[in-house]
Amino acid sequence: MCRMIAPHSPSPSPVPASARPVRKAVVPAAGLGTRFLPATKATPKEMLPVVDKPAIQYVVEEAAKAGLDDILMVTGRHKRAIEDHFDHAFELEQALAAKGDTVRLDAVRDPARLADIHHIRQGDPLGLGHAVLCARHHVGDQPFAVLLGDDLIDARETLLSRMLDVRDRYQGSVVALMEVDPSQVHLYGCAAVEATGEDGVVRVTGLVEKPAQEHAPSNYAVIGRYVLDPRVFDVLERTAPGRGGEIQLTDALQELAAGGTVHGVVFDGLRYDTGDKGDYLRTVVRLACERPDLGPEFTAWLREFVAALPEEEGAGREESRAA
C-alpha cells in the first residue's frame, strides 16, 4: 500500500515555465539497498554522499534542469532523511545566518528550492513497478519522467532533455539505453530494438528483466531514466510479480513495447550507479577530482597515493586503480 505524505509548503521554483506537457518527475527511492549493506541498514542508499551532496540531490537537480518542477519521491522505511533533506532546516539556517555564513546557508537551502517536492511512502518494497504505481494519484493522466534515485547522469549530459524531445515527437514511452558488455547484461533490463532512421533513437520491440547472457536480445541495457505514458499505470495494476518476486517496471514496459509504443534513446555519456560499491567509489573520486575547490589538492594526493601503491598490492585493488 502507498501512503501520501503532506508536502511541505511549495518553494518558488527557479525553473522557467515550459510549454512541454511533461512537468512531473517521480524518483523511486524505496528499495532496500542490499548491495550497499551495512551502510544502508538505517540510511537510504540515495542519501549516501557523493563528495558533499547526497546522490539523490544530483538526480533532483537533473530533473529541475530539464524543466521538471514537480517531483514526487517514493520513499520507504528509514527514508525520513530524504524528506528532511528536501525540506527547510530552520535551526541550522538560523545558526548559519547568525554567523553570516552565506555560502553554507545557500547550500542548506538549495535542495528545498530546486522544485516543488512531494513524498509518498511505498509501504513494502514490492518492486520498481510497484513504486511507480504508487505515483499514479499524484501524476494523474499526464506523461511523466522517472529518475532512479541512485543512478546519476553527469550534469554535463542532456539525456533527459533528449528523452523529453523524443516523447514530444513519437508520443508513447521512452527509455534510456546504454550499450554494455554482454557479460554485464544480466544486471539490467535488456531491450530488443530496431532502427528508426534517426541517429541515437531506436524502436523498442521487446524488454526482458536481467536476462542470462545467452538469452539477451541485445546488449542494450535499460538505465534509470524513463519518460512514461500514463497508460503504464493500467498495465502495472495487472502486472504480476516477476523476477525476484517483484513487480517489475520492465514487465509492464514489455507489454507497451509489444504494442509498438516504446522508443529508446541511446546514451553513451557519463553515468554513475551509486548503488554499487565499486561504481560509488569511482564516482566520488572522479567528481572530487573535477571540483574546482577540492580537485587540485585531492588530485595531487591521489597521484602520490597511486604512485606509492606496491605493484602486487595494486593489482588486487581494481576499484581504487580504476577510479
* Cα dist from 214 to 134, 180, 183, 186, 187, whole Å: 34, 14, 9, 10, 13
Tell the smallest beta-carbon distance from residue 5 to ligand UTP (Å).
Answer: 15
Tell the smallest beta-carbon distance from residue 235 to ligand UTP (Å).
Answer: 17
Please report the DSSP string for 201-257 in residue order: EEEEEEEEES--GGG-S-SEEEEEEEEE-THHHHHHHTPPP-GGGS--HHHHHHHHH
Q: Of the two residues 70 and 151, which places its CB atom closer to ligand UTP in the complex? A: 151
Q: Which residues bind ligand UTP (CB under 6 A)?
A: 28-36, 74, 122, 125-128, 130-131, 148-150, 275
Q: Of the two residues 26 and 288, which places its CB atom closer to ligand UTP in the complex? A: 26
Q: What is the SS3 assignment for 99?
A: helix
Residue whose C-alpha is closest to residue 121's, from 84, 87, 80: 80
Tell the smallest beta-carbon distance from residue 191 to ligand UTP (Å).
Answer: 17
Q: Of the two residues 126 and 166, which places its CB atom closer to ligand UTP in the complex? A: 126
- State how far the Cα of 214 lies from the Cα of 122, in Å rounded to an integer: 34
Q: Of the two residues 13 and 122, which places its CB atom closer to ligand UTP in the complex? A: 122
Tell the smallest beta-carbon distance from residue 308 to ligand UTP (Å).
Answer: 33
Q: Of the two residues 20 and 78, which places its CB atom closer to ligand UTP in the complex? A: 78
Tell the smallest beta-carbon distance from residue 265 to ligand UTP (Å).
Answer: 19
The CA angle 314-320-323, to the nearest 5 degrees, is: 130
Strand partners, 28: 74
